[in-house]
Amino acid sequence: EVQLVESGGGLVQPGGSLRLSCAASGFTFSSYWLHWVRQVPGKGLLWVSRINDDGSSTTYADSVKGRFTVSRDNAKNTLYLQMNSLRAEDTAVYYCARWSDYYGGMDVWGQGTTVTVSS
Amino acid sequence: DIVMTQTPLSSVVTLGQPASISCKTRQSLVHSDGNTYLSWLQQRPGQPPRLLIYKISNHFSGVPDRFSGSGAGTDFTLKISRVEAEDVGVYYCMQATHFPYTFGRGTKLEIK
């Protein structure tokens, strides 16, 4: 079964750091670009970051640029999001999603992990 | 950033009746490669988003035929021919032609 499973969310104080992980299974991980998308509870979706298949190219939303770093370990089939200098407005559910070149869309989504930034 | 203007923001539909959601942008979503990366996603309560329609009008695997997408350029529509109980949730349009990728605000579909 094709699957993405996020972990690493939790409660962190403003200014703190957290690293999210997204474990993939059921497909050739190293062949796909991957994205992070977040959602404030009860609100809409916001694209956060993407990384290409070999990890050599990354892109970020302006709101997280310089604070968040996306990376991947293709040997471990795992995607990461290192989040530093966290702010209250980063509080959200964070989803990892697979980009399919065939479909031209995000065809597989994880269940999400919740990040709460609060003192 | 590309603003995806999605309407309505909520819709109450009688079972078996049609539903329609509009998504408009001010800038064309036609990519330089000739594709239009406009998707529709469904998010059922308590679930992650799920791809329904890709590149304007193509059904993702397992998506019922009662869902259809149409449009071109800057104006797109998702239609449900006959709403069923399992269609309750929030529907989002998403563009992946221009960075940053952006989503509509979502349309909450409820059943009457």
Minimal C-alpha gap between B51 and chain A (Å): 6
Residues from chain A contacting residue B102 (CB–CB below 8 Å): 47
Cβ contact, residue pair A62, B101, below 8 Å: no
pLDDT digits (tens, 9 = 90+) for B89-112: 999 999 999 999 999 999 999 998
Minimal C-alpha gap between B101 and chain A (Å): 6
CB A80 within 8 A of CB A55: no
First to last CA, chain B: 36
Q: According to the model, what pLDDT value does residue A30 have?
A: 97
In three-state secondary structure terms, A93 is strand
Instruction: Kindly state the average pLDDT of the residues A18-33.
Output: 98
pLDDT digits (tens, 9 = 90+) for A64-87: 999 999 999 999 999 999 999 999
Does the CB of B96 have a partner CB in chain A at under 8 Å?
yes
Does the CB of B22 have a partner CB in chain A at under 8 Å?
no
Under 8 Å CB-to-CB from B64, ≥6 apart: which residues?
none
CB B60 within 8 A of CB A2: no
Structural tokens at position B73: 């350029």
Distance CA B32, CA A73 (A): 31
